[in-house]
A and B are shown apart, each in its own frame.
Chain A
Amino acid sequence: MEIALSVNGRDVVHEVAPNELLLDFLRDSLGLTGAKRSCDVQVCGACTVLVDGLPVSSCCVLAAQAAGHEVTTIEGLAEREEFERLEDVFTRHAALQCGFCTPGMLLTVASLLESGELASEEEIKRSLAGNLCRCTGYRAIVEAVAELAGVA
């Protein structure tokens, strides 16, 4: 079947299998490998992309379900002007190690910053619970996001 959608601000029309996952479509058909496969069950968040600005686990969504919607991957987010601040703050805090969870983490953070939902450290921890990181021990990420959100 053919789907039409917007990916990182560009119109895309593409043939997909009816059972094709959005994650596989992005990685294999469009070459957008920033979204990572890990748990396959919507727990780890490594495959997170934004659909109409909201974080979605692309391992548990069909490509066909994204038809008519706006999809943003890390490659698209990195093109935006505001990304430089995310990059600067995460780099300064060393809020990444192996980098496998990092794209999904940043997309979730970007979406939460946009919606202004991060008013306290507790909210940061609760809101990011859908993104696992096995390397950092989380503290540096919480500190980086707190700085980005202006949480003291």
Chain B
Amino acid sequence: MTTVVRETATRSQVGVAQPRRDAREKLRGEAQFVGDLIVPRMLHGRVLRSPIAHGRIVSIDASAAEKLPGVVCVLTGADLADIDPYYGHAIKDRPIVAIDKVRFHGEQVAAVAAVTPAAAAAAVEAIVVEYDELPVVADVEAAVAPDAPLVTDRDLVPGLFHGLGELAPRDGNICYRYRLDRGEPEAVFAHADVVIDGEYAFPAVYQYAMETHTVIAQVEGDEISLWASCQHPFLVRAEIADLFRVPVANVRIQVPYLGGGFGSKSYTKMEPLTVALARKAGRPVKIQNRVGESMVTTRRHNMRCRMRTASTADGRLLAREVTCLFDTGAYADNGPRVVATAGDAAPGPYRWEAYRVDASCVYTNLAPSGSYRAFGATHLQWIGESQVEEIARRCGVDPVEIRRRNLCTPGEEIRAGGKPLDADLVGDVEKVAAAVGWDEPKPPLVGRGVSVGLLAAGAHPVSSAICRLESDGRVVVLVATTEMGQGPRTAFAQIAAEELGIDSDRVTVHGADTRFTPYDRSTGASRSTTVAGLAVQRAAADIRRQLEGIAGTSAIAPDDHVELMRKHFGFAGGELIGRGEVAPAGTGSYAEGPVFWEVCVGAAEVEVNPDTGFVRIRRTATAADVGRAINPQLVERQDEGATLQGLGNALFEEMIYEEGLLLNDTLLDYRVPSFGDLPDEMTCVIVENEDGPGPYGAKGCGEGALAAVPAAIVNALADAGVPMNELPLTPERVWRRIQELKKEGTWQQ
């Protein structure tokens, strides 16, 4: 991709903290989310979910439910005989509702459409299902044991967007495996002075977008309309068209505001079931998940990992070996991509002589796992970085200095055949370290840590945008990026205004309606400002060129636009249409990517209470290495939000399963960060080296901090005397570790 770079001094719209354009609507409660929408003749859907983790469905008796007042229909697997009811963008392994078997606690078994939510809820209670329980595959280790029961016996059918090259056949419960190799790790480990070797565990985590998954579907003949809380409307459109055998253009998806996404609304979630229910009911249906239902709709993979890292006695990093098992639950969801991204993140951006990564995506009888902000990187950065920290300690090298010596520099290869490093990581580490007072004296029980990593970002670089210059001089931007809080409508208005030399108040940006907004691959992987933003920039530049052609000069004042259009069209109407497109430079394959490396650099200062095990976060700092901040205030907010989520992942968030049953499925038992969890100081350092492929040298942000912060906290806690190898760092777990250290005689405080 080429970048249009103009002189910084001439920019008036970009690089400025302009107010959010949706602030008024959202503050006044006028912003509409799917749950606020009413479609004429709309029914309310409710889902019956499996109470067990694994079992054969012996019978479903919905006769009593169907007779209840207000009930229009009950949908079961038997209603899907006319289609191939399996979907999944990576692997088509998931039935719209359970067919013959249930594979996780909470799986969709049947759904009711009724005139009121209360009638639907009553009918769900009246459905009688008989199960024959099967052995439960409760964790990844059990899943890969030689005699493990199979979660599915189906062959792996690639989905429309698996994007992983050739999909290998299923190997027992392993549905996907990602390997990276460089050099001969065994030989390097054999002569290394220092080897750190450990086993680690990362918990299952819930994204908790406050708006739960909500969908309205309407089926009229072969036309399907959806109003959906989805991040990737065009990908959902394709999957719905494929499932229900209609042309892609017959599926229309409108996306209003999203009440948070964080990956939980990426790809296809509740849409197929809602369409199937609306199809049977013959009327529009709304399904709105409860929190406990959203938790089992998608979640973050729990993972187990063994890692070894080797170095010389003076702290030169030599080799790393990583084996990890990701628990993708009963259906793959985005597991294969999470695992590939984790594999890329596993070595860390250091100058290795050799490494070997073997990451597996494993079926179990838990809820399906998919995307959550900074996936893969969050899983592995804290592990790799804790080993680097331990090497620094053993070699007597300062943790910042060991990064200085070993980190790759801009232009160096990160992954063979892929994009070289496009960031100044050493500079980023130095900045965050300074922000937590790296060289200041430390009180007792206080530790400081830094962490650094990279996240393959940008996804598939396909986006398009249309700008319409109207006869009154106002501009409408059509781009399908989902506004889920991150502020793309504000950033895009700034970009379009900058290109056209007008004030951004004259620009309006709407959300996705797949019937009218041009194609955009997705809203995720920190790609929107970089990729969709580039499409917006090109669309606006296209209009500018047209105006210059009409004027016969490039010296156009904003006030000239209306007059130039009148001159062109010969009356007070007409509009100029600008097109902007982004397509891959090469084949667009994963191996050639990523679009950019998202920087995951952070630092933390923590204080541990040895009597209670409680870890207090005194300071955090993150580097928003964004190339160019289109809106610096929104960049800061992204890092702050990701920091608090990272703090939750590190300290207390965990979905607790017992033999496949989810025990904490409400926010009473699953705690997320609150106001009281704010660090005493939280710093976001914006780094602008104009080294990104997006508009004005921009690249994405907002996810990196979620990988960087847990790793920095783990390292800071180790610096305070408590090295940990399992998250979350609950007081009990930390306290028990301190007792172990005391027994071993290694408690330093």
**Are A129 and B29 in contact, with the CB atoms below 8 A?**
no
> Is A94 a contact partner of B211 (Cβ separation < 8 A)?
no
User: Which chain B residue lies CB-closest to A33?
Assistant: B36
Asked if A137 lies at the interface with its beta carbon under 8 angstroms from chain B, I say yes
A98-B257, A106-B27 are contacts. A132–B210 as well, Cβ < 8 Å? yes
A139 engages B678 (CB within 8 Å): yes
Contact B672 A140 (CB under 8 A): no
* Shortest CB distance B685–A (Å): 15
Neighbouring A residues of B640 by C-beta, 8 Å:
136-140
| Residue in A73, A125, A140 whose CB lies within 8 Å of B29 | A73
Per-position binary interface string of chain A over residues 66-96, scored 1 when its CB falls under 8 Å from any chain B CB and 0 otherwise:
0000000111001000010011001110101
Contacting pair A40 B644 (CB below 8 A): no
- B23 near A34: Cβ-Cβ < 8 Å: no
**For chain A residues 10-45, which have a beta carbon within 8 Å of chain B?**
17, 24, 27, 32-41, 43-44
Judge whether A55 is part of the interface by a CB distance below 8 angstroms: no
Q: Is the interface of A mostly helix, strand, loop or mixed?
A: loop
| Across-interface contacts of A99 in B (CB, < 8 A) | 22, 25-27, 31, 257, 259, 485
Give the chain A neighbours of B529 by CB distance below 8 A.
Answer: none
Complex interface bits, B65-101 against A, C-beta within 8 A gives 1, otherwise 0: 0000000000000000000000000000000000000
Q: Is the CB of B644 within 8 A of A138?
A: yes
Q: Give the CA-CA distance A40 to B209 in the complex, in Å.
A: 14
For the complex, is B634 an interface residue (Cβ under 8 Å from A)?
yes
Hey, which chain A residues are within 8 Å of B668, CB to CB?
Answer: 41, 43
Q: Mark B7-27, 1 if CB is under 8 A from A, else 0.
A: 000000000010110111111
Given A24, A35, A90, which contacts B27 in the complex, CB threshold below 8 Å? A90
Is the pair A38, B27 in contact by a Cβ cutoff of 8 Å? no
Residue numbers in A under 8 Å from B666 (CB-CB):
39-41, 43
Please give, as numbers and ranges, the residues of chain A lying within 8 Å of B208 by CB-CB distance. Answer: 134
Q: How far is the CA of A141 from the CA of B682 in the complex (A)?
A: 14
For chain A, give the interface size range: 35 or more
Tell me whether A41 and B667 are in contact (CB under 8 A). Answer: yes
**Total residues of chain B contacting the partner, CB 8 A:** 58
Give the interface SS of chain B, mostly helix, strand, loop or mixed. loop
Interface assignment of A4: CB less than 8 Å from any CB of chain B: no
In contact, A100 and B260 (Cβ under 8 angstroms): yes
Q: B290 to A40, Cβ gap below 8 A? A: yes
Residues of chain A from 84 to 130 with CB closer than 8 A to chain B in the complex = 86-87, 90-92, 94, 96-103, 106, 124-126, 128-129
- Convert B277-289 into 0s and 1s, putting 1 for each residue whose CB lies closer than 8 angstroms to a CB of A: 0000000000010
| Contacts A39-B291, A74-B29; A129 near B675 (Cβ below 8 A) | yes
Q: Are A87 and B33 in contact (CB under 8 A)?
A: no
Contacts of A94 in B (CB 8 A): 17, 19-20, 23, 633-634, 637
Whether A62 sits at the interface, judged by CB under 8 Å, is no
Do A132 and B485 touch (CB < 8 A)? no
Give every chain A residue within 8 A of B672 (Cβ-Cβ): 132, 134
Which residue of chain B has the shortest Cβ distance to A90 in the bound complex? B27
| Smallest CB gap from A79: residue in B | B28
B641 within 8 Å of A (CB atoms): yes
Give a binary string over B610-647; 1 marks a CB under 8 Å from any A CB, 0 the rest.
00000000000000000000000110010111111100
Residue A142 at the B interface, CB < 8 A? yes
State the Cβ distance, A98 to closest chain B Cβ, in Å: 3
A135 part of interface (Cβ distance < 8 Å) = yes
> Across the interface, which residues of B come within 8 angstroms of A38, CB to CB?
210-212, 259, 291
Residue A46 is within 8 A (CB to CB) of chain B in the complex = yes
Q: Which residues of B contact A33 (CB under 8 A)?
A: 29, 32, 35-36
What 0/1 pattern do residues 718 to 743 of B give for CB contact below 8 A with A?
A: 00000000000000000000000000
Task: Tell me whether B452 is interfacial, beta carbon within 8 Å.
Answer: no
Is the Cβ of B210 less than 8 Å from the Cβ of A100? yes
- B residues whose Cβ falls under 8 Å from a Cβ of A: 17, 19-20, 22-33, 35-36, 117-118, 208-212, 257-262, 288, 290-291, 484-487, 633-634, 637, 639-645, 666-668, 672-678, 682
**18 A-B pairs with C-beta separation under 8 A:** A27-B36, A34-B29, A39-B667, A41-B668, A94-B17, A98-B26, A98-B211, A99-B26, A99-B31, A103-B27, A129-B676, A134-B208, A134-B672, A137-B644, A137-B645, A138-B640, A138-B675, A140-B637
* 8 nearest A-B residue pairs (beta carbon): A34-B29, A99-B26, A100-B259, A98-B485, A97-B485, A137-B640, A74-B29, A33-B36
